[in-house]
Amino acid sequence: MKKRFDYDVVVIGSGSAGFAAARTAAGLGARTAVIEAAREIAGLCILRGCMPSKTLLASSNRLHAIRAAGEFGIEGARGSPNLSKIVARKRRLVREFADYREKQIRTGHFDFIRGRPEFLDRHTVSLQRGEKISAKSFIICTGSRIAWHPFEGLDKVDSMDSDAALNRTRLPRTLAVLGCGPVALELGQYFSRLGSQVTLLQRSQHLLSKFDFDLSVCLRESFEREGIRVITGVRLKKFERRKKKMVHFLKGHRRQKLDADEILYALGRVPNTAGLGLKKIGVRLRSAAIMVDQTMRSSVPNIFAAGDVNGQHEVVHIAIQQGELAARNAAGNAREKFDERALTLAVFTEPQIATVGRSERSLKGKKFITAKYPFSDHGKSIVIGETAGFVKIIAEPPRGKILGAQCIGPEASDLIHEMIALIHMGATVFDVLKMPHYHPTLAEIWSCPAEEIAGKISAR
């Protein structure tokens, strides 16, 4: 007789990955439950990530556009930011998003259980009130938390993290931003466009160190044109508070210091696995991340992990894909693998950055053909006054199959979707040239690098 469990699948965490996993498992007929320990329901993306940050960026970008209206013959437009109203709008919209998600969770075809779980064995968790819950499979979707580094004096300067930045209603005159990842860059530009004097301090030699170098160079040039100061190759040493907050750092072998009214701490996040009791049941961790294979299985076969908690990609649409995949494998005892061919990333600065598939950096040592085309030579971009940046296509030499694409420029996060579809379908640059592209549009720019690569292939 098979052992009976309370549930077929228990999902720990109700954020984007967890909700996707629970909905998918329940849809497959599995007896499913979600356990949530956090006070607020909805997850990082809705509460403290994608939605609130992009709401704030919409305000600062609108202000920037108003102040550039003179270029388009619009006189007398200046605009004045009211941070209290900007933050109030953000809170209203986030509350609407969160309320809708909470309703989805509470009315889903799965049980919703409040409590902080800890594994007793591979099939059982206990909650702090003593209740025990058993399941055939578990999917861990507990997300991530801010990674605080023990720099000397950091605790004395009362720096703000990204959560605090999203709710700040007073504009700092000067702001030092620690880190140059997407969160640091987006919030740094937000405060700069509202009126703060912003300095970015970055450990690596270029912004967005995981991206191709030409994207970094272009973004840095755009930031510096806006008056944002960028200092790379920095080693943070210590912090102290005098009349202002002071950052001491090394640039090469030279000691330097920077004072600011406020410090934004944006040095990344770590998977939120503390207190789950994973090590005692044999789940392997890399630092705090749950190590998984392409099926989202951990080292314990009935325990899966999806989203930020597995440390692979801190991106919400990937978290959702992984949650759905883990649920199909857990509920159906399958071994479906995650497809990374069309892996997509975006940064919502202006200019925006978006990438899909392979990069030149990841293909180092392999044969590929690449071509790029600037927005400064593109009709629609010139008309709307958005000429910074370029698009780039990376293809394999024999047939011109598209391996990857990158865009830095206006609406890059939307423009990349043409390339996502083409890569997903295994298309070539010749397919791009067969497709109609309406004129004048931003999207037609993709035909330019495709034509160049097609020419190189045909000439061989």
Q: Which of 119, 34, 150, 126 is nearest to 290 (CA)?
A: 119
Among 14, 4, 90, which residue's Cα sits nearest to residue 52?
Answer: 90
Cβ(12)–Cβ(18) under 8 Å? yes
Among residues 317, 378, 437, 439, which one is catalytic? Answer: 439
Terminal CA-CA length for the chain: 67
Distance CA 366, CA 344 (A): 21
DSSP per residue, 35-65 = EE-SSSSS-HHHHHSHHHHHHHHHHHHHHHH
Distance between CA atoms of residues 235 and 74, nearest Å: 45
The conformational region for residue 454 under phi > 0 = left, psi -120 to 50 = alpha, else beta, is alpha
Whether 437 is catalytic: no
> Who contacts 409 (Cβ-Cβ below 8 Å, separation ≥6)?
351, 352, 375, 381, 386, 388, 389, 390, 391, 415, 442
Tokens matching residue 64: 């920037």
Residues that are catalytic: 439
